[in-house]
């Protein structure tokens, strides 16, 4: 558990692990800023940019890596972050620079442990050295945030259609009707089928999206008489008509002769969605590459049968994202299919550095030359990838694992644990060019690789019981940004469309629609329209469903 954020009254002690985790996240005040679920809304950016003079309160996150790495990292409190945003970074005085050199060169940190005592080691190879130097942070001057100003009267549908406009929906209508016609020519006519219209397609999407709010066991529960029935929207379309549209629903009806990609049925929609993301939002400098929680809906896991769970485990694709760590906006999606016959298929590359390097390059293909700072997990972090990104003016900070990461080119002495007992906050650093390799101890060994933060700049982790734990700035920055993404994922999984189709392209489609709605809500929260209506994420989803269904009564129900 971490220090209380913002100096408010002390929270009551949590009675369970769930409550403990919730209190830990609430100290970040992220749910109020991004999701509007509870509490007062804080003004300004819900996150912060870590600076060199970091001395702040913190909240912790668990980072399980390999068998030795079982400590906790932490981030600073909202009050400290706000003060840091207001104060520009001052140039270090000669005395401060001497203190930093002392701290990083083997001296003790005032009030706490410092660098690890160096053991007798062989000379480092590959250009790695103990001599540390200050590295200036990557300069970032681009404006971040929404690219267009939405009117005060903008509706949920207006924000959603920034990513899924009418021309995309009209294409779904055309392709669905084409597929239905061809299907009936091959398998016999269907007298109950009539061509779908744009209004019906919007209603069809509305019914599907409603499952992300009410978490129905099945979308067909809307027309049932059970607990998940919803008579207020069931009257818009009959169940039999909905099932007909579901049967023939397509984004791309037929494969062209030039098409070889297995995502051909969904790729045009993904391309359109990506264009919408790029044109509607400019991300901040700090971003994270990760796999979002797409199979962790707690309602489904608690209610599904063993057979349904086995089907869930047969998912034939992996979904990765590049996500802005200041707002939670997902900037880019990458879908990798399980194609065992391909040389670069998921079967051939699973749990191998080649797959994760390919994923990272695909997600960052539009990030060159912008001085972004990319945070990565152990599966992506590697020296070769970071050096390649640096040539493209993309800077990185990643957690290393001797078991999961590609450790090629790293000094073996930094990958082995010290035989001497260590104190919390002790660390060793090696440097090669602008790249720093950090081994930091906090109830376990954590290793970081970065070229985005100077090794001579100090951060701090503040814990309720242990007080201040010194660390390099890169460690504090990593904990801060990854803690935010963990909080986003907790909310993100709650609002996934619950419909679970068997076809892979349909699974990808509904996941993508869920991401688009979350992004739409983030833009809504950053717009002036939010100050008029102030919808929570659940209310925003309900409003969108009613607008898609064409209902006149669009007031939120809770």
Q: Is 335 a member of any domain?
A: yes
Residues 532 and 422 in one domain: no
DSSP conformational letter for 217: S
Q: Whole-angstrom distance between the N-terminal and C-terminal Cα of the chain?
A: 32
Determine the Cα–Cα distance for residues 239 and 237; give it in Å rounded to an integer.
Answer: 7
- Structural domain boundaries, residue 394: 283-494
Q: What tokens does 401 get?
A: 């694992």
Q: Find, among 497, 511, 501, the residue nearest to 249 by Cα.
A: 501
- Which has more confidence, 522 or 424? 522
Q: What is the pLDDT of residues 487-500, one digit of tens each?
A: 777 777 788 888 88
Q: What is the pLDDT of residues 167-193, one digit of tens each?
A: 999 999 999 999 999 999 999 999 999
Strand partners, 336: 318
* Domain-terminating residue out of 477, 494, 511: 494
Determine the Cα–Cα distance for residues 522 and 495; give it in Å rounded to an integer.
Answer: 13
Neighbours of 170 (CB within 10 A): 12
Q: Is 74 a member of any domain?
A: no
Q: Is 485 a member of any domain?
A: yes
Residues 215 and 293 in one domain: no
Q: What is the pLDDT of residues 336-353, one digit of tens each?
A: 887 654 444 545 445 567
- Which has more confidence, 149 or 316? 149
C-beta of residue 484 within 8 angstroms of C-beta of residue 30: yes
Residues 239 and 287 in one domain: no
Instruction: Note the pLDDT of residue 398.
Output: 95
Strand partners, 430: 437
Q: Find, among 402, 405, 372, 404, the residue nearest to 389 by Cα.
A: 372
29 torsion bin: left (phi>0), alpha (psi -120 to 50), beta (else): left
* Domain-terminating residue out of 476, 494, 512: 494
CA 550 to chain CA centroid, nearest Å: 32
Give the number of C-alpha atoms closer than 13 A to the C-alpha of residue 512, restricted to the C-beta side.
Answer: 25
C-beta of residue 319 within 8 angstroms of C-beta of residue 334: yes
Q: CA quadruple 189, 195, 201, 206: dihedral positive or negative?
A: negative
Q: What is the pLDDT of residues 246-280, one digit of tens each?
A: 999 999 988 876 666 778 899 999 999 999 999 99
Residues 363 and 459 in one domain: yes
CB-based burial, 80-101: b 16+ in 10 Å, e otherwise: bbbebeeeeeeebeeeeeebbe
Residues 162 and 290 in one domain: no
Residues 252 and 318 in one domain: no
Residue 451 has pLDDT above 60, yes or no: yes
Q: CA quadruple 323, 329, 331, 336: dihedral positive or negative?
A: positive
Instruction: Note the pLDDT of residue 82.
Output: 35
C-beta of residue 408 within 8 angstroms of C-beta of residue 383: yes
Instruction: Note the pLDDT of residue 367.
Output: 92
- Which has more confidence, 247 or 298? 247
* Domain-terminating residue out of 468, 494, 520: 494
Instruction: Note the pLDDT of residue 525.
Output: 94
- Which has more confidence, 400 or 61? 400
Residues 332 and 429 in one domain: yes
Residues 487 and 507 in one domain: no
Instruction: Note the pLDDT of residue 317.
Output: 84
**Which residues, at least 6 apart from 55, have a Cβ–Cβ distance to it below 8 Å?**
80, 460, 468
C-beta of residue 71 within 8 angstroms of C-beta of residue 443: yes
pLDDT average, residue stretch 130-136: 93
Q: Is 477 helix (H, G, I), strand (E, B) or coil?
A: helix
Q: Is 128 a member of any domain?
A: no
Please, what is the average pLDDT of the chain?
76
Instruction: Note the pLDDT of residue 295.
Output: 55
Determine the Cα–Cα distance for residues 411 and 148; give it in Å rounded to an integer.
Answer: 48
Residue 535 has pLDDT above 80, yes or no: yes
Q: What is the pLDDT of residues 11-64, one digit of tens each?
A: 444 334 444 434 433 433 323 333 333 333 333 332 223 333 333 333 333 333
Which residue is associated with the tokens 């264009």?
Answer: 275
C-beta of residue 239 within 8 angstroms of C-beta of residue 223: yes
Task: Please provide residue 38's backbone torsions phi and psi, each rounded to the nearest 5 degrees.
Answer: -160, 165
Q: What is the pLDDT of residues 350-361, one digit of tens each?
A: 556 778 899 999
Residues 301 and 370 in one domain: yes
Q: What tokens does 518 get?
A: 């979350």
Task: Please provide residue 505's backbone torsions phi and psi, each rounded to the nearest 5 degrees.
Answer: -65, -30
Instruction: Note the pLDDT of residue 285.
Output: 94
Q: Is 134 a member of any domain?
A: no
% the chain with pLDDT above 70: 68
pLDDT average, residue stretch 452-460: 92
Instruction: Note the pLDDT of residue 491.
Output: 75
Q: Is 33 a member of any domain?
A: no
Return the HEC string of 344-382: CCHHHHCCCHHHHHHHHHHHCCCCCCCCCEEEECCCCCE
Q: Is 95 a member of any domain?
A: no
Instruction: Note the pLDDT of residue 539.
Output: 94
Q: How confident is residue 552, by pLDDT bands cut at 50, 70 and 90?
A: low
Instruction: Note the pLDDT of residue 224.
Output: 86
Instruction: Note the pLDDT of residue 102.
Output: 37
Residues 202 and 329 in one domain: no
Distances (CA, A) of 412 to 53, 126, 399: 32, 11, 16
Instruction: Note the pLDDT of residue 89.
Output: 38
Which residue intervals of 38-120 are DSSP H helices?
A: 78-86, 94-105
Angle at 60 between CA 55 and CA 65, to 5 degrees: 115
Residue 324 has pLDDT above 90, yes or no: yes
Out of 91-105, 366-380, 525-539, least confident range: 91-105
Residues 308 and 328 in one domain: yes
Q: What is the pLDDT of residues 153-168, one digit of tens each?
A: 999 999 999 999 999 9
Instruction: Note the pLDDT of residue 85.
Output: 35
Out of 61-70, 146-155, 362-371, 488-497, least confident range: 61-70
Residues 414 and 452 in one domain: yes
Q: Is 239 a member of any domain?
A: yes
DSSP labels, 379-409? TT-BHHHHHHHHHTT-EEEEEE-TTTSB-TT
- Number of independent structural domains in the chain: 2
**pTM of the entire predicted model:** 0.77
Determine the Cα–Cα distance for residues 36 and 27; give it in Å rounded to an integer.
Answer: 15
Q: What tokens does 268 get?
A: 């045009």
Angle at 75 between CA 74 and CA 77, to 5 degrees: 130
Instruction: Note the pLDDT of residue 558.
Output: 38
């Amino acid at each position: 558990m971490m220090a209380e954020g913002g100096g408010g009254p002390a929270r009551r002690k949590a009675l369970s692990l769930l409550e403990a985790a919730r209190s830990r996240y609430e100290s970040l005040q992220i749910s109020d800023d991004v999701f509007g679920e509870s509490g007062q809304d804080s003004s300004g950016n819900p996150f912060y940019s870590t600076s060199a003079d970091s001395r702040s309160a913190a909240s912790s996150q668990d980072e399980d890596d390999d068998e030795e790495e079982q400590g906790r990292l932490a981030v600073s409190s909202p009050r400290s972050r706000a003060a840091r945003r207001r104060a520009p970074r001052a140039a270090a005085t000669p005395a401060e620079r001497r203190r930093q050199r002392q701290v990083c060169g083997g001296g003790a940190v005032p009030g706490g442990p410092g660098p690890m005592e160096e053991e007798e080691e062989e000379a480092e190879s590959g250009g790695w050295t103990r001599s540390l130097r200050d590295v200036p942070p990557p300069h970032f001057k681009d404006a971040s945030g929404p690219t267009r100003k939405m009117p005060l009267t903008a509706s949920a549908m207006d924000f959603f259609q920034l990513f899924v406009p009418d021309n995309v929906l009209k294409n779904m209508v055309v392709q669905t009707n084409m597929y239905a016609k061809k299907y009936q020519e091959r398998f016999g006519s269907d007298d109950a089928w009539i061509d779908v219209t744009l209004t019906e397609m919007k209603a069809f999407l509305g019914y599907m999206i409603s499952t992300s709010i009410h978490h129905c066991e099945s979308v067909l529960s809307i027309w049932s008489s059970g607990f998940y029935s919803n008579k207020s929207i069931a009257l818009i379309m009959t169940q039999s008509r909905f099932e007909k549209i579901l049967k023939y629903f397509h984004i791309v009806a037929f494969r062209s002769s030039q098409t070889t990609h297995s995502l051909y049925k969904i790729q045009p929609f993904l391309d359109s969605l990506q264009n919408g993301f790029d044109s509607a939002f400019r991300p901040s400098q700090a971003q994270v590459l990760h796999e979002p929680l797409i199979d962790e809906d707690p309602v489904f896991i608690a209610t599904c049968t063993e057979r349904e769970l086995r089907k869930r485990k047969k998912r034939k694709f992996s979904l990765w994202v590049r996500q802005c760590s200041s707002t939670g906006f997902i900037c880019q999606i990458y879908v990798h299919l399980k194609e065992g016959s391909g040389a670069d298929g998921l079967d051939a590359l699973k749990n191998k550095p080649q797959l994760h390097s390919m994923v990272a390059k695909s997600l960052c293909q539009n990030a060159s030359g912008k001085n972004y700072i990319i945070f990565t997990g152990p599966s992506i972090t590697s020296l070769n990838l970071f050096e390649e990104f640096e040539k493209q003016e993309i800077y990185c900070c990643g957690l290393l694992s001797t078991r999961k990461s590609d450790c090629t080119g790293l000094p073996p002495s930094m990958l082995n644990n010290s035989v001497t007992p260590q104190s919390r906050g002790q660390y060793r650093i090696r440097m090669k060019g602008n790249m720093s390799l950090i081994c930091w101890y906090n109830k376990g060994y954590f290793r970081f690789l970065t070229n985005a933060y100077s090794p001579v700049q100090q951060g701090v982790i503040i814990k309720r019981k242990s007080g201040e734990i010194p660390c390099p700035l890169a460690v504090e920055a990593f904990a801060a940004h990854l803690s935010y993404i963990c909080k986003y994922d907790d909310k993100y999984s709650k609002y996934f469309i619950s419909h679970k189709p068997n076809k892979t392209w349909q699974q990808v489609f509904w996941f993508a629609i869920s991401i688009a709605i979350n992004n739409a809500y983030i833009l809504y929260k950053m717009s002036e329209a939010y100050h008029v209506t102030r919808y929570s994420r659940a209310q925003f989803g309900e409003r969108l469903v009613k607008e898609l269904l064409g209902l006149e009564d669009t007031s939120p129900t809770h």
